[in-house]
Amino acid sequence: MRFMIPLLVALSIAFGHCRADDRPNIVLIMADDMGYADAGFTGATDIQTPNLDALAASGVTFTNGYVTHPYCGPSRAGLLSGRYQHRFGFETNPAYDPSNPYMGIDPNETLFPKRLQQAGYRTGVIGKWHLGAAAPFHPNNRGFDYFYGFLGGGHDYFKIDLREPVKEGYTQALERNGKPAIFDGYLTTALSNDAVNFIQSSNEEPFFLYLAFNAPHSPLQAPADAIAKYSHIKDEKRRRYAAMVDTMDAGIGMVINALDTQGIRDNTLVFFLSDNGGPQSSKQQPTKGNGSSNSPFRGGKGNLYDGGIHVPFIASWPAQIEQGGVYDRPVISLDIAATAVALASSKSSPAKGMEGVNLIPLLQQSNENSPHDFLYWREGGTRWSILNSDRTKHVLDSAAGKPELFHLPSDVSEQVNRVNDEQSLAKELHAKWLAWNQSNVASRLDSYKKYHQKRDQFFLDSIPKDATDEGYSPTPIPTFK
């Protein structure tokens, strides 16, 4: 495919003379725990996603689009920093604790919305944050003019109830710019409505909107009419999951319609992706799955097979990107930050220190050069994977317990381990990964489960011994499932 761009705008971008009103608005929409095969444009037949399908048809679908981590928080840290999150020690989900000024993304890390803000963009984030709940990590302190949503890793879709245990904040109040906020009805729709309001309140300056849905992440809750729409799906999890995706898709349609109504759709670059693959059940964890499908890929959320990190990925910019395009070279979520910063700063290359590539010149060219020689992953400090531009992937995943080498063009489901047949290539890829890993640091954070266990024990230990001697018995602390 070829990227179509008017000559005047192209020259303006190339030479840095682009007027502020020529720069595109940028909307980044992220789903949470969505399976690769759960949209029409990626092959779903039992879930209806007309708005996502229309978005894909209006731009380019990246059929080999990846994220930097197989689960929520670290994937978002890579996305918003534009750097591999391993560079600054963000390798696990942070616990929800507004009182802890260390439990979050490194305050010294500049997130790309801050760079857009400095370039004159109005910036907003709506929905899930999951990069730390204390003041140093708050969205309003990290480059966003506007925030409506929740700071933890998930939320109940119908209620706020401060009487329930706080734990990960699933029933805590939402926030709007640091003040408590509520929502009416269903959370996904409330987030979509707020995104529409943000777009409608835009003035002459360009804006960046990060709409971070928590759908279809658990709990599996959806409006009754949406669930009824999928009564033909026999599996209850899949039925509820489908209803959640359907409602999110309707919200995306509301956002696109708002851009149309404001007369700014043509010059708005819209990205869509999921933060990771859908969680899958296993013999060891039979209740883990959320009803999603990552077909045809192996694995899912939490592991480094393609099912965990290969996600649905769209870019649409009607005035500038040829409609209905397909791009099959590997790209990664880091490229979104690089592209946004390059466009906002009117420079063809991203800011120093960012590790993605500007996708616009890449789509503008008709050659087959890959934007990345290698893509890298590390999880838990020891599990790792690397993908080269020929889509040969070397992975050491704890589920396998041994190195594996897959040639994805002929083995998309990662079933045929070629490590013994191609030992030289396996060693070369391992050496590349080791060289990349030298610039990484250890994780700064404990997992949220370990953190809460330690914090609970701290409070138990703080109870005076003579209190228990007098018959005091603390209420059992709820544990994580």
5 has a pLDDT exceeding 70: no
| The pLDDT of residue 2 | 40
**Residues 81, 87, 88, 91, Cα dihedral to 10°:** 90
Q: Which residues are catalytic?
A: 72, 130
> Which range (242-256, 339-353, 373-387, 428-442) has the least confidence?
339-353
Confidence of residue 464 (pLDDT cuts 50, 70, 90): confident
pLDDT > 90: percent of the chain: 79
The lowest-confidence range among 74-78, 277-281, 335-339, 471-475 is: 471-475
Q: With 0.85 as the threshold, say if the pTM is over it.
A: yes
Taking residues 239-249, report their average pLDDT. Answer: 98
What pLDDT was estimated at residue 401? 76
Cα 334 from chain centroid (whole Å): 11
Q: CATH 3.30.1120.10 spans which residues of the chain?
A: 374-437
CATH number of 374-437: 3.30.1120.10
User: Which architecture, in CATH terms, is 7-364?
Assistant: 3-Layer(aba) Sandwich (3.40)
pLDDT tens-place string over residues 53-66: 999 999 999 999 99
Q: How confident is the model at residue 417 (pLDDT cuts 50, 70, 90)?
A: very high
CA distance 124 to 258: 16
User: Mean pLDDT across the stretch 23-44?
Assistant: 98
pLDDT at 86: 97
List, for residues 125-134, the tens digit of each pLDDT value: 999 999 999 9
pLDDT in tens, 182-206: 999 999 999 999 999 999 998 888 9
Q: Where in the chain is the domain with CATH 3.40.720.10?
A: 7-364
The predicted pLDDT at position 353 comes to 87
Q: What is the pLDDT of the chain when averaged over all its residues?
A: 91
Tokens of 201: 């309140």
Say which residue, 263 or 481, is predicted with more confidence: 263
| pLDDT > 80? residue 240 | yes
Please check the confidence at residue 348 and state whether its pLDDT lies above 50.
yes
Question: How far apart are alpha carbons 225 and 447 in whole angstroms?
Answer: 37
Comparing 59 with 347, which gets the higher pLDDT? Answer: 59
Distance CA 255, CA 258 (A): 5
End-to-end C-alpha distance for the chain, whole angstroms: 47
In this predicted structure, what is the pLDDT of residue 356?
96
